[in-house]
Structure 1
Amino acid sequence: MRTIRRGGDLGAERPTTTLSRVGIPAWVWFVVTVAAGIAGAAMLLRDRARLTSRNRERRRWAALRGWQFADTDLALPTQWSGGAIAFHGAGARDLLAADVVAGSTFTADGRRRVYVFDLDIGGRTAAVIAAVQCRRALPTLVELWLSSAPFQREHMPELLGPVGQRYAFVADLTAAHGLVTTELTEATEEIGADIAVTWIENGWVLAAAAPHATPSRLERLLRGIGEIADVLDPFDAETDPVGDHEPSGRHGERQSEPHD
């Protein structure tokens, strides 16, 4: 409030200004700070409990299957740069594989090496990646995205066209025509509408499941992408008998016998 007093002589009071102030008691700020701290701690504890529960669940699953388990692996996700890894941030410094399961399983055409891991970016699980290895390198990257899934990124492969309920994006159109067959389309349809993308890269068939995917869902997903691997890379019983070349681990160690 501004109050001005006027006088007729030099001794009159000068104009003065008075501001009304609204103060908040210090105890209110203290209560707000404490409440915010408690809420933040509760969220951290909840997230920690959920992550710990998932870690135990994944570890038990690996043990039941006779597979290997690792808490983290920095190098594993760098083997690929397409599909969900490209979408969520290939090359990111804080990208790692968490709750990693490694082993081998049987498909219709024989035993294949598999990985399952959380794609962790800066402490956040972006997706769960399942991967099944082919016996030979495939000629080009092929990404199969659901039309309803967000898949646009700065550097996309070329659009090949629809493949069943998905759109195919490829690095080499000519090479991809030999891979995208009726059999591949039928196998892809069995993956499930909850899987945003499955892709073929560097001799692997991969797919991205939701972060909360359970071991039972991941089992079905491995079977699904295993069928795709069988379509792309069938075994020749004469030149490559089943079991003669058991897949080894990433560092060359033999995998334990799975309990199918």
Structure 2
Amino acid sequence: MGVPAWVWFVVAFVALVAGALFLMRDRARLTSRNRERRRWAALRGWQFAESDPVLPGQWNGGAIAYYGDGVARDVVAGSTFTADGRRKVYVFDLEAGGRVNTVISAVQCKRVHPVVVELWVPSTPFQREHMPELLGPVGQRYAFVSDIAAARALITPDLVDATEDIGQDVAVAWIENGWVLAASAPNSSPSRLERLLRGLGEIADVVDPFDAEIDPAGEVEVRGGHEE
């Protein structure tokens, strides 16, 4: 005997209601994160933007390569102090494939290093189609680099110590195109992101000390930066 039509109607109705509830929950969560990020930016005197479709395209490594460049959502742009002085920063949700996969935090260096260095925690499924070359363990992380010789000169004991301080909840930290970046969980709070920016600032101070000579051609212009 076949299933009565009213049973299929009930099943379809329940599925529709469940889908609507999930959508409302996700939308409420996104709206809450938007307000939280906006308040944080205002408190710090930084700039806020709902979205930026171009920003993630500045980078090709780390979490950008893993998830795809996508669109930057709830973007905070500003500057912060490190031990070596003031540096530009970005924080944004990376939306790819219609969902927010991670939060990207970025701190600018004064020069562009001729190598991409990705530092992944072992528990992360970091494999992708075109991985950089495996250099080996760096502290509690694995280093994948675009140039082994150049990376060896960059990875010092001070860099290892600074990287250890950013926390195992950060899946990957990487150096690329004049920036030090990291990917954290989508629900990362402003307080956690503040700590992460400080950690990235320490890494930037190690690989990019202000008292070193700077090649003007290596400087990077920042869109949307705002002085405190």
Match of 2:129 among 154, 173, 180: 154
Q: Counterpart in 2 of 1:163?
A: 138
Q: Counterpart in 2 of 1:175?
A: 150
Match of 1:213 among 185, 188, 197: 188
Match of 2:174 among 199, 203, 207: 199
Amino-acid identity (%): 70
Paired residue secondary structure (2:126): coil
Q: Counterpart in 2 of 1:139?
A: 114
Is the Cα–Cα contact under 8 Å of residues 105 and 113 in structure 1 kept in the other structure? yes
Between structures 1 and 2, the one with greater helix share: 2
1:1-260 alignment to 2 at 5 Å? 22-90=1-69, 95-236=70-211, 249-250=222-223, 255-257=226-228
TM-score by length of 2: 0.93
Structure 2 CA distance for aligned equivalents of residues 28 and 54 of structure 1: 39
Paired residue secondary structure (2:155): coil
Structure 2 CA distance for aligned equivalents of residues 76 and 64 of structure 1: 23
Paired residue secondary structure (1:138): coil
Q: Which runs of 5+ in 2 are unaligned?
A: 215-219
Offset at 1:249?
4.3
Offset at 1:248?
6.7
Offset at 1:74?
0.5
Is the Cα–Cα contact under 8 Å of residues 248 and 255 in structure 1 kept in the other structure? no
Larger radius of gyration: 1
Runs of 4+ deviating beyond 6 Å: none
Select the structure with the greater relative contact order (CA < 8 A; seq sep ≥ 6): 2
Encode CA deviations 1:126-151: one digit per residue, 9 max, x unaligned: 11000000011112000011112111
Paired residue secondary structure (2:211): coil
Offset at 1:88?
1.2
Paired residue secondary structure (1:178): helix
Structure 1 CA distance for aligned equivalents of residues 3 and 146 of structure 2: 62
Is the Cα–Cα contact under 8 Å of residues 249 and 255 in structure 1 kept in the other structure? no
Letter in 2 for 1:31: V
Structure 2 CA distance for aligned equivalents of residues 211 and 65 of structure 1: 21
Encode CA deviations 1:205-245: one digit per residue, 9 max, x unaligned: 000001111110000000001000000111129x79xxxxx
Q: Which runs of 5+ in 1 are unaligned?
A: 1-21, 241-246
Paired residue secondary structure (1:161): strand
Paired residue secondary structure (1:131): strand
Structure 2 CA distance for aligned equivalents of residues 30 and 161 of structure 1: 57
TM-score by length of 1: 0.82
Is the Cα–Cα contact under 8 Å of residues 157 and 171 in structure 1 kept in the other structure? yes
Encode CA deviations 1:80-130: one digit per residue, 9 max, x unaligned: 00001111124xxxx110010000000010000000000101220111000
Paired residue secondary structure (2:154): coil
